[in-house]
Amino acid sequence: MDCIFCKIIDGSIPSKKVYEDEAVYAFHDINPLAPVHVLVIPKMHIDSMDKVSADNAEYVKKVFLAIPKIAEELGLKNGYRLISNCGEDGCQSVKHLHFHILGGKKLEEKLVSRFGLKCFVPFHQD
Ligand code: 5GP
Ligand code: ZN
């Protein structure tokens, strides 16, 4: 499958690993948007949040169980933000389910203007 995150998992694309277990892989984002910006992915290819189902929920559960451990390893004692962009409107660019951990500083309150700028369209109420 032509998926860059599957290639990161199998090592054919290099990455800066921060965590790995039998079901989960986490690595530094190549284009960090915060002092700490890590992507957490299931090793099993799932396209997006929309494709989570009873058949693959066990893998997603393992991702969520790993996230607090990863955050602790990253020293995010004061909190962090967890984001999963889904589909076209969510501006998902890599079609392998992933969770962004963003932290290392007090983040902006306005999630959309800071993080979703590339597809943010102002909404006018007339
Ligand atoms: P999305 O926009 O799909 O929510 O997030 C995809 C993320 O993957 C982006 O933040 C982007 O910087 C990151 N990314 C894309 N290609 C690579 C890569 O080859 N290596 C790493 N480490 N991150 C990548
Ligand atoms: Zn994949």
Residue 122 pLDDT grade (very low, low, confident, very high; cuts 50, 70, 90): very low
Residue 126 confidence (pLDDT): 40
pLDDT in tens, 61-92: 999 999 999 999 999 999 999 999 999 999 99
Mean pLDDT, range 100-107, rounded to an integer: 96
Residue predicted with more confidence, 72 or 1: 72
Mutate to test the pocket of ligand 1, among 9, 27, 28, 39 (most ligand atoms within 8 A of CB): 39
| Spatial CA neighbour of 80 closest among 120, 39, 122, 50 | 39
Q: Does the Cβ of 15 fall within 6 Å of ligand 1?
A: yes
For domain 4-119, which architecture applies?
A: 2-Layer Sandwich (3.30)
pLDDT in tens, 6-47: 999 999 999 999 999 999 999 999 999 999 999 999 999 999
> What is the rounded CA–CA span in Å between residue 14 and residue 52?
27
Catalytic residue, candidates 37, 96, 98, 100 = 98
Q: Does the Cβ of 94 fall within 6 Å of ligand 1?
A: yes
- Atom in ligand 1 nearest the alpha carbon of residue 28: 22
Q: Does the Cβ of 37 fall within 6 Å of ligand 1?
A: no
Residue 112 confidence (pLDDT): 61
Residue 93 pLDDT grade (very low, low, confident, very high; cuts 50, 70, 90): very high
Residue 68 confidence (pLDDT): 98
Q: Does the Cβ of 86 fall within 6 Å of ligand 1?
A: no
- Say which residue the tokens 């969770």 belong to: 99
Q: Is the pTM of this model over 0.85?
A: yes
Q: Is a pLDDT exceeding 80 seen at residue 2?
A: yes
Domain ranges of the chain: 4-119
> What is the rounded CA–CA span in Å between residue 25 and residue 126?
46
